[in-house]
Chain A
Amino acid sequence: MMAIRLFEERVNDLYTRALMPGLAHLYIGEEAVAVGVCEALQPDDYITSTHRGHGHCLAKGAVPHLMFAELLGKEAGYCKGKGGSMHIADPGTGNLGANAIVGGGAGIATGAAFASKYQGTGRVSVCFFGEGALGQGVLYEEMNLAQLWKLPVIYACENNLYNEYTHYSETTAGDIMARPAAFGVAAQAVDGQDVRAVHAAASAMIDRARRGDGPGFLLLNTYRYRGHHVGDVARDYYRPKQEEQRWMADRDPIALHAAWLLAQGIADQAALDRITEELTAEMDAAVDYAMKAPYPDPGRVDEDIYA
């Protein structure tokens, strides 16, 4: 979780210093979701991610220096600079790709689960999506198919309360949990700021899917601390500052987990500080690597259109 936080803080810094082109959607505040879920997966299990995907990719095993290189459009990046922040993909870590179409990963994740069942590989796929994707019809087509065919896929709905600049209550009729229930898909709502709760719920769902008992739906209640993207600074028209401060003060996933580790005597403050220090050094080195890495040769623009 701390790795994701430090990674994203550096993304924010690069972006605001105009060193990173494009768009940056930060995952800060939501770290327990990606970490809790991905810790419950095997290395060769699959995920699909979203426009707010850095956390998912890192939690599934992506390494920071290749992530930063991709974010800066460098040849050394995961996608040779052709994908960027919203499209990190990596077969090596089972990452089928971050998707900048809201709900765009639903078909791909469900299809990977179909292939897993057909080939008997035992792999599970997790489809991460924001609650905004509840407005996309294709999500329900996929949930219907997954339940009909008992596919090992988990739909992980990250409810950070806002579809871009609109509260989800203005876009979402009825009850979110009634949606999976309508298809007979096993579902659980979880405190997305509590990494152990996320992990426990995800583990149960994933085990069940792997056994052949069909898909699951996790509703992960969380909050994004920052703007929809880095440039979304003046936010009071859609949410009050006090709300943000409340979540940061009371519901921070890293602080909550640290407090639990200390209370249990699993780690002392010095150990936690050491981890933060090591991760800080790793992230700084990764940024440095990416900044120095060369851009792709423009002549390569026509490569990789076809396999």
Chain B
Amino acid sequence: MPEAVAHAGRVPPKADAPVREITFGEAIREALAEEMRRDPKVVLLGEDVAEAGTAFKVLKGLVEEFGKDRVIDTPISEAGFTGLAVGAAMTGLRPIVDIMFGDFIALVMDQVVNQAAKSHYMSGGRWKVPMVIRATMGATRRSAAQHSQSLHAWPSHVPGLKVAIPSTPYDAKGLLKTAIRDDNPVVFFEDKISYAKVKGPVPEGDYTIPFGVADIKREGRDVTLVATSSMVQVALGAAAMLEEIGISAEVVDPRTTWPLDEKTLIESVRKTSRALVIDEGSFRYGVTGELASVIAEGAFYELDGPVRRLGARHVPIPFSPPLEDATVPAERDVVDLVRQMCNK
């Protein structure tokens, strides 16, 4: 990977910036509002994004500040408005499209995969496509199979795209600002449950987080839990439970699946000698497989056992609560598997 991809510029928060506890959803809104104030080229397109502020109310208040020319309600035409955003991005704007449910990225795949991702390369670097595709992910809302899947592995598989999957309000704000300023198409996945449920410290004002830089959410000695998005909270909960039985778990969050900070993952596992990868995407042919092989290739001689994985069960997400809960990794699953890995 070229250096420039791995380490885009970073703006640290102002040293004296007040820090508040806000939700994941509020952090997303704050990032959008600040970027729209900063750059008139940023426009938002999607279904019910204006007065309704999206089905999740994440964008509430933006249309009042920026007007209907910049916060634009579209027809229910995901391919149509995403394709339009590709052309607008090539010719001077920085559009952000809102894909209400991540499952619907199936409807925009040609625009994202064949148009947005390839235009720069196919043109020998002459056209750029600076756009953000915001999509949700995550199950356990009893929304059934077509409103619950986590499909972040799909765009991660496509050269030309970058993919961010933040887990905390702090990361969400900083990574979304980076996504908007990036000159490439970025797919940005937001966990629906986290919108209201995950709270955390977020500095007021401007800061960005570079892509391709993992974050150690908790330090530990005995096992590395590599976790993404919604699974970071699960990993942190499990780590607290493991501590009580004398297992010290390190939690590493890659924050972007591409570019990927291989170095931090490998270094952590070299130190702890055990690795478990946890991700809410389907277990098969997904993010856990890629991260596990990066670790296995990079830390093989330091490993005390095989790299283990937890992902969503390889089934369409079911509706009935006990069935749905059986599809997504929970703290208990992590604890049980880690105890097995550590013989405790």
Residues in A lying within 8 Å of B, measured CB to CB: 46, 48, 77-83, 87, 89-91, 96-97, 99, 101, 104, 106-116, 118-119, 123, 125, 137-138, 141-142, 144-145, 148, 302-307
Contact = CB atoms under 8 A, between A and B. Distances in A.
B111 A107 contact: yes
Contacts of B120: 304-307
A107 B80 contact: yes
B56 interface: no
A108 B91 CA distance: 9
A101 B114 contact: yes
B288 to A, nearest CB: 25
A306 B160 contact: yes
14 contacts: A78-B126, A82-B123, A91-B126, A99-B115, A111-B91, A123-B91, A141-B77, A141-B79, A142-B83, A144-B77, A145-B84, A302-B2, A306-B160, A307-B125
In the A-B complex, the 7 residue pairs with the smallest Cβ-Cβ separation, listed nearest first, are: A107-B83, A111-B87, A141-B80, A80-B124, A304-B125, A79-B124, A108-B87
B153 interface: no
Contacts of A303: 2, 125
A231 to B, nearest CB: 23
A46 B77 CA distance: 23
Nearest to A79: B124
B75 A97 contact: no
B77 A101 contact: no
Query: Which of A82, A145, A305 counts the most B-chain CB atoms under 10 A from its CB?
Result: A305
B83 A108 contact: yes
A90 B120 CA distance: 11
A123 B93 CA distance: 14
B124 A78 contact: yes
A199 B93 CA distance: 31
A91 B127 contact: yes
Query: Which of A89, A106, A114, A145 counts the most B-chain CB atoms under 10 A from its CB?
Result: A114
A79 B120 CA distance: 9
A258 B26 CA distance: 67
Given A107-B111, A118-B88, A303-B125, 17 more contacts: A82-B123, A99-B115, A107-B83, A107-B115, A110-B87, A111-B89, A119-B93, A123-B91, A138-B79, A141-B81, A144-B80, A148-B75, A304-B120, A306-B2, A306-B4, A307-B130, A307-B184
Nearest to B125: A304
Contacts, number: 153
B80 A83 contact: no
A16 B74 CA distance: 48
Given A96-B90, A112-B91, A115-B87, A145 B81 contact: yes
B92 to A, nearest CB: 5
A75 to B, nearest CB: 9
A78 B159 CA distance: 21
B5 interface: yes
B124 A82 contact: yes
Contact of B123 (A46, A79, A118): A79
A96 B116 CA distance: 12
Interface string B124-160: 1111101000000000000000000000000000011
B290 interface: no
B86 interface: yes
B54 interface: no
Contacts of A145: 74-75, 77, 80-81, 84
Query: Which of B5, B43, B124 counts the most A-chain CB atoms under 10 A from its CB?
Result: B124
B75 A144 contact: yes
A306 B5 contact: yes
A114 B110 contact: no
A111 B85 contact: yes
Contacts of A90: 123, 126
A109 B87 contact: yes
A141 B119 CA distance: 21
Contacts of B81: 141, 145
B86 A108 contact: yes
Contacts of B159: 305
A306 B80 contact: no
A80 B130 CA distance: 21
Given A111-B83, A111-B88, A137-B79, A104 B126 contact: no
Query: Which of A78, A108, A123 counts the most B-chain CB atoms under 10 A from its CB?
Result: A108
Contact of A81 (B83, B91, B124, B184): B124
A138 B80 contact: yes
B183 to A, nearest CB: 4
Nearest to A148: B75
Contact of A142 (B69, B84, B88): B84
A305 B158 CA distance: 11
Contacts of A99: 115
A110 B122 CA distance: 20
A118 B43 contact: yes
Contacts of B119: 89, 97, 108
A114 B92 contact: no
Contacts of A137: 79
Nearest to B82: A107
Interface in B222-264: none
A104 B5 contact: no
A89 B123 contact: yes
Contacts of B95: 111
B93 A89 contact: no
Contact of A111 (B2, B90, B121): B90
A119 B124 CA distance: 26
A141 B95 CA distance: 18
A76 to B, nearest CB: 10
A138 B83 contact: yes
Contact of A83 (B69, B74, B123, B130): B123
Query: Which of A77, A78, A111, A305 counts the most B-chain CB atoms under 10 A from its CB?
Result: A111
Given A101-B114, A111-B90, A141-B75, A87 B84 contact: no
